[in-house]
Amino acid sequence: MVSYLLLAMILLPMLLAAVVLAVTDRRFRNVCVLMVSGILMVSALLIIKTGAAFVEIHGTLAEVLDYVIFAADVAISLIALYFGFKFRSIVLAVLSIAQLIPLVLFHIQINFAGVEKAFHIDHLSMIMLLLVNIIGPLIAVYALHYMQEHEHHQHLTASRQHYFFATILLFLGAMNGLVMANNINWIHFFWEVTTLCSFLLIGHDQTEAALANAKRALIINFFGGVAFILGIMFIYSRVHTIAVHEILTYSDVSVLLIPMALLVLAGFTKSAQIPFQSWLLGAMVAPTPVSALLHSSTMVKAGIYLIFRFAPVFLGTWLADMSALIGAFTFAAAALLAISQTNAKRILAYSTISNLGLMITLICILDIYAIYAAALLIVLHGVSKALLFLCVGTIEQAIGSRDLEDMDGIRQRLPLTAFLATFGAISMLLPPFGVLITKWIGIEVTASLPPVMFLIILGSACTVFFWAKFIGKLLSHNPEAEKIETLFLTYQGPLAIIAVLALITSIFMIEFSNMFIAPFISSAYLGSSDQTIPNVLISDFAGFYPPAFFAVTAIALLLVFILYNWLKPKRYVQPFLSGENSGHNQFYSLSDGKFNAGFRNYYFSSVLNEHKLTYLMNSIASALLIVLFGVILR
Amino acid sequence: MAKKTILPFGPQHPVLPEPIQLQLVMEDEIVVEAIPAIGYVHRGLEKLTETKAIAENIFVVERICGICSFMHALCYCQGIESLMNITVPDRSRFLRVIWGELHRLHSHHLWLGLLADAFGFESLFMQCWRNREMVMDIMEMTAGSRVIISTNALGGVRRDIDSDQQKFILNSLNKLQEELDNIKRVFSDDYTVNKRLVDVAVISKEDAHELGAVGPVMRASGLSFDYRTTGYAAYNELDFEPIVEQSGDCYARMMVRLRECYQSIDIIRQAFAKLPEGPIASPVKGFPSGEIATRVEQPRGEVLYYIKANGTNHLDRLRVRTPTFANIPALLKMVKGLTLADIPIAILSIDPCISCTER
Amino acid sequence: MMGILQTAATKSPWIVHFDCGSCNGCDIEILACLTPLYDVERFGVLNVGNPKHADILVVSGTANYRNARVLRNVYDQMPWPKAVVAVGACASTGGIFRNCYNTLGGVDKVIPVDVYVPGCAAKPEAIMEGVLQAVQVLEKRKETGETYAG
Amino acid sequence: MNIQIIAATILLAPVIGGLIAGIDRIITARMQHRVGPPLLQPFYDVLKLLGKENIAVTNDQSLYAVLYLVFNVITLVMFVLQMDLLLILFMLLLAVASLVLGAMSANSPFSKIGAQRELIAILAYEPILISSVVGMYFVTGSFSISRILQIDRMLFIDLPLLFIAFTYVLTIKLRKSPFDFSTSHHGHQELVKGLTIEYSGPSLAMIEIAHWYETVLLLLFAGLFFANNLYVAVAAIAICYFAEILVDNIAARLTWQIMLKSTWIPGLLIAVVNMVWVYIKYHV
């Protein structure tokens, strides 16, 4: 049963990707995407219902698979090499060769051996599966309409949508493979597939900027890939196994510290930690569903997943502390940089980088609450950020701009989308939603690492600033705005579903924790499969119980609405413009001319110069990384 | 950077005592452009003077501005007197100096208070205005009214100051000087005040000269000129020096005015010491003819009156160039590049009198 | 309950001051009312500087062709019940500027005025009396429940 | 029991807050050589505002005023119920956020600039507020007020620098001069009334009442530093608030640039110094 589900989740999307690529008919494609979406959702739920398990593959099939995956992995490197020559990028060419040679050597060294327990579905995988297979398909469905509009705006002669959806499907399959594989070589392969997908999707629009940013993404991720493969070789040389569950049982940390550092480095590149953040910002040129799916909710979490997976091995070491520091630094620095951004997608991108940093910090802290918070944040952030990106995409299609300053009166122009976007932003910033709770836990658990905690405190203050600007803009009222929203089931439908999911995950945080995180902690960290031992509820955490909290908030809101009915304005007047109003937003000025009063949010562009600050932040983060490796390699 | 913050600053704005509008175009909070719009106080007063009798016009020009009303009347009277070749009695010349300096005292106190209010120092504002009431009491005692005292007349002054009143005034001034010492310490040394005034809205010596700034604005930029030194009224018999500061920022402009308060007290004391006995007005007969330009140093700088008379009881033309008008180019130069928070301070630092400027 | 609201209304008149073409004489006397010697805050009077928070509009100076619309706007942006005090001869009738080409006359040409304060310039004591009389007007408006009538 | 505490808090806090505001206004007036308003003036003001016409620029503007009030009440109740301090700070943030959003929702440049300045103020005070809570954690080993209250030491002895930093940001939080630039108690400011400029009548009254709750909360927070002795705590609160009034009267309004610099550089520095020292004292 489980193996069929695996087939459905990994191979089927990949196969259908090929079909979609071959058959360019739009209707057929839509059916395919919808079908895959349904299958993925159902199989993910079924697999979770089955519970934690190993899936073994024996005999010829296993051998064939090992060879196929090796060949495909080599092929990806060759593709990268090809693009290296095509773009005349020596760095890319060198990186792809640097990946190719160790890859081949390593496979020769291990004689193309595989792992019997090829797949391992534990509770961490399940968390990731939920994210990938519920949010992913919803975004794919959303993309159906979005890409139609997108191409409409581009005035293309021939549709390129089949490339787009093929890549998306390929990506979903690869992501499922990544989070379930137990063979570290396979993880590396799926890892490289997601890199490739990301590259193809960023470059999808074929514009100059798109191609340049795609190239950059490929280079940085390939750098991570090289670190990954080197890490695998190191691991093998030390512990002679490529099965993840066996590596995890290895208790002598010092032996594995160098390979683990390499894997963490790979995770940093994939999760766009400073100084590797530039590719994720560049990736924002891609169509918005790509940003939502790959570059905020799922693919960037692959790096987090990798670190999370191997964290039990190196927790409590220098590596973990330094990683926590780099994560916290990223959290603060990205939040600070987000203040200076006017482009809504870039704000979201910086916020994503920032949150990924927080996840890494939480993962690398030896505290049971931190692990809870990290796992929760992966889900909560994925859901909320997907929602936000999709809303920004919808707004961008409607008003032709993704600049925050152009979104005045969006509340009247696109009421539903603006409402959902506001909800998404609030769920990222304010209580009682979960993201804030994880930040709260973050501060409380990092008390043992004061510098890290201090960075989190600074970062959360900056976070408030840019989110409040964002929400304020979405809610601002413009008397001249008119409604232009058109509703489609497949367009706003996924948005609404994701919003509901965001609400549900926040309310049922504790149930979620009990279901997934507590068992994960007991098996991965306490080395016990007895799920009753560490059943730590967040409710133990200072008497905090989310549903009660939500209930109080709901009652408060009800109260507010009652009071508000009493307070409803009796008369509307024009705003205060020093008495010179000539219209709602206009005033008389020089020679009785009518001028528009304007308002632009503060971005501190003179102080927070993105270019200079990025340079500074990159230097600091690089220095931290060098210190990390310097100490480990001593 | 397409969108900018555009803010109509005034006409109804509590920081501005008078209606004027500055359309501020800002980035973050830095003003990139300030476009003034005026006309809110324009009444057509110059035209009005052509319909009134020459003696009545004293009351009209006093209402050009309620703060420096005495100086306006003085300037007008001096113009008409020199057109008609009237020599005013010595006593009235000294009385004019005394009232003139009292006006300067009340105007500078008022300004110091408004400045304190503009940078949010409420208790300092209260203190300045509390001190000012001493001057207002003197006005009320000597003239019967507080702000528009109407003691000027063609050929001299309308009221005398007797020796009892003199004693009271000198006493009050002693008290005022003590209080002034207190507020001077706050204005010149307080950390927060310095933060808000030093190096804000700087006008260099060259700029001040080139833009034709007058009065304290000019003197704060290091140009030493005070129209009183030319010796109109009784100033030629009194001993004083123009007060000059070098740095040209708001702090310097504040210091000039603060020190001028001491100077005024000193001048009034000198004037009382030298006050001659005698009549307070000479008789005036007939009507003036010809044209003349006269100047007087007001609290805000020099005011220029151009009077054209034709031998009848009505003037052909009366033209007033007020100090604020001369300082507006300097103001517009100052505000560029300031932050929004400094705008009220910069505007106040020229001590604008819009009702003078627009008449 | 309504009774308490009514007494409260008489104890906290917030003013907004608009200078429409005055010679500054009355303006500085209005400001002087706030300062230690007169201290209108004894009666709960605050100068809020913003029509939306104010109960009483204190106007000085004559209305002219340009500032009439500002005056009207400021008046319109005040919440009901509200009262208007015209301070000084100019605001009451146009005063010495009555016949100038750019003036409309007293502010009652533009907005309804409840209390006229004479004087050129009006003395602070007179202005305070005027404001306190306007409070009576406010109270009466509150009692009769007179609604907003433009 | 809890219900009684909650009810007492909700009913008593505005009375205390209003009285504090009244005393504040009288002391301020005396410092300015004035007589000042009657003690009950803040109540008269609010009652008057409640009876006025509610005019607004946008439909949902008053909604945010009510939200501001309700969240302030909830925060105070959470404090009185001795819950987690960090959570309380986040709830306080929610309250301020609703005020900011209300100001942003109206299409008025003055109120929007006020909102931005309030956000900058959050940027300035939030790290120090959280730092003081963390400092308390280092000493007591808990973020929960109930456990902080059980400690028999006076927190002030361990956290004097943090207390200084806290009183510094208290000025920002209470919107007193020199940091009253997002909205000020008197209208003579470049933004007029900034944040609250578009509110009138009952919705303005909501904001005033909310501010009373907030004042009580912040003063209780200051009292936490002296929590083991009730009399000392009350005296400390009184001295603390008097100092705020004094500073309010002897300082010009500074700019937010200066505020941000002073809280992030010397402010955070002394906070960190204090945190490091208690960390070493209790944990190393």
In a domain, C147, yes or no: no
Q: Alpha carbon A448 to chain centroid distance?
A: 28
For B277, counting Cβ atoms within 10 Å of its Cβ (0-12 exposed, 13-18 middle, 19+ buried), the class is exposed
Q: Residue C79 and residue D47: Cβ atoms within 8 Å? A: no
Which residue reads 């600070």 in tokens?
Answer: A336
A475 and A333, same structural domain?
Answer: yes
pLDDT of A537 above 60: no
Chain A residues touching D62 at Cβ < 8 A? 564, 567-569
- Cβ atoms D192, D110 nearer than 8 A: yes
Residue B39: phi, psi to the nearest 5? Answer: 115, 0
In this structure, is residue A53 part of a structural domain? no
> Is the backbone of residue D33 left (phi > 0), alpha (psi -120 to 50) or beta?
left
Please give the residue that has the higher pLDDT: either A489 or A129: A129
Q: pLDDT digits over B268-283, tens only?
A: 988 888 888 888 888 8
**CATH number (domain holding residue C131):** 3.40.50.12280
Beta-carbon separation of D181 and B29 below 8 A: no
Q: Which pLDDT value is given to residue C3?
A: 66
Write b or e for each residue in C29-67: b if 16 or more Cβ atoms lie within 10 A of its Cβ, otherwise e.
bbbbbbbbbbbbbebbbbbbbbbbbbbbbbbbbbbbebb
Set of chain C residues whose Cβ sits within 8 Å of the Cβ of A580: 69-70, 73
Question: Does C148 lie at the interface with D, CB-CB under 8 angstroms?
Answer: yes
User: Is residue A543 very low, low, confident or very high in pLDDT (cuts 50, 70, 90)?
Assistant: low
- A509 lies in the same domain as A584: no
Q: Select from A161, D10, A264, C39 the least CA-distant residue to B133.
A: C39
Q: Looking at beta carbons, which residues of chain D come within 8 Å of C42?
A: 34-37
Report pLDDT for A227.
92
Question: What is the rounded distance in angstroms from the CA atom of residue A375 to the CA atom of residue A123?
Answer: 10
Instruction: State how many domains chain C has.
Output: 1
CA distance linking residue A205 with residue A24, whole number of Å:
18
pLDDT band at A329 (very low <50, low <70, confident <90, very high): very high
Q: Does domain B45-318 have CATH number 1.10.645.10?
A: yes
CB contact under 8 A, A590 and B23: yes
Does B293 touch chain D if contact means CB atoms closer than 8 Å?
Answer: no
C9 pLDDT higher than 80:
no
B325 vs B354: CA distance, rounded Å: 8
Length, in residues, of chain B:
359
- pLDDT score, position A351: 93
In contact, D218 and D170? CB cutoff 8 Å? yes
Say if residue A496 is in the same domain as residue A379.
yes
User: B120-163: per-residue pLDDT in tens?
Assistant: 888 888 889 989 998 888 888 888 888 888 888 888 888 888 88
pLDDT score at A594: 81
Provide, as residue numbers in chain A, all residues whose Cβ is less than 8 Å from the Cβ of B3. Answer: 405-406, 598-600
- Taking CA–CA distances from B345, the nearest residue in chain D reads D190
Asked whether the predicted pLDDT for residue A536 surpasses 60, the reply is no
Alpha carbon separation from B354 to A520, B37, B118, B298, C121 (Å, rounded): 75, 11, 17, 14, 17
Closest Cβ–Cβ partner in D109, D192, D254 for B192: D254
Contacts of C50 in chain A (CB under 8 A): 576
Report the pLDDT averaged over residues A33-41: 91
Provide the pLDDT for residue A544.
Answer: 64
* pLDDT, mean of residues A157-183: 89
Residue in D closest to C77 by C-alpha: D55
Helical segments of A155-252, H only: 161-180, 184-202, 208-239, 244-249
- d(CA B92, CA A187) in angstroms, rounded, equals 103
Cα(B357)–Cα(B41) distance, rounded to whole angstroms? 9
Based on the structure, what is the number of domains in chain A?
2
Yes or no: say if D171 and D185 are a contact pair by the CB < 8 Å rule. no
Q: Name chain B contacts of A603, Cβ cutoff 8 Å.
A: 28
Residue of chain D minimizing CA distance to C34? D34
pLDDT at C148 over 80: no
pTM attached to this predicted model: 0.90
Given pLDDT bands bounded at 50, 70 and 90, which one contains residue A188? very high
Whole-angstrom distance, CA of residue A433 vs CA of residue A534: 24
Q: Which domain holds residue C68?
A: 2-138
Residues of D in contact with B344 (CB under 8 A): 190
The set of residues, in sequence order, having a beta carbon less than 8 Å from that of A68 and lying 6+ positions away, is none
Q: Does any CB of chain D come closer than 8 Å to the CB of residue B193? A: yes
Which of A521, A536, A366 is closest to A452 using CA atoms?
A: A366
Beta bridge partners of B305: B294, B320
Instruction: Identify the domain containing residue A550 by its residue range.
Output: 318-568+600-634
A574 and A632 within one domain: no
Contacts of D252 in chain B (CB under 8 A): 116, 119-121, 124, 190, 192-193, 195-196
**Whether A405 and B37 lie within 8 Å, measured CB to CB:** no
CB contact under 8 A, D189 and B124: no
Give yes or no: residues A474 and A585 share one domain: no
pLDDT of residue A386: 92
Shortest distance between the Cα of D171 and any Cα of chain B, in A, equals 14
| Helix H or strand E encompassing C32 | helix C25-34
Residue B8 contacts A where some CB pair is shorter than 8 Å: yes
Count, in order, helices (H) and strands (E) of chain A.
27, 5
Q: Distance, in angstroms, between D247 CA and closest chain C CA? A: 20
Which residues from C are below 8 Å from A573, CB to CB? 52, 76-77
Domain contains A256 = no
Give the nearest partner residue to A569 out of D55, D87, D115, using CB atoms. D55
- Residues D184-218 pLDDT 10s: 777 677 788 888 888 888 889 989 999 999 999 99
Whether the pLDDT of residue B320 is over 50: the answer is yes
Nearest-Cα residue of chain C relative to residue A592? C66
Task: Note the pLDDT of residue A533.
Answer: 39
B interface test, pick of C23, C59, C107 with most B CB neighbours within 10 Å: C23
CB contact under 8 A, C51 and A576: yes
* Residue A486, burial from CB neighbour count under 10 angstroms (0-12, 13-18, 19+): exposed
List the one residue out of A160, A200, A406 whose CA is nearest residue A283. A200
Which residues 5-24 of chain B have a CB within 8 Å of chain D?
5-7, 9, 13-15
Give the tens place of pLDDT for each residue, B242-269.
Answer: 888 888 888 999 999 999 999 999 999 8
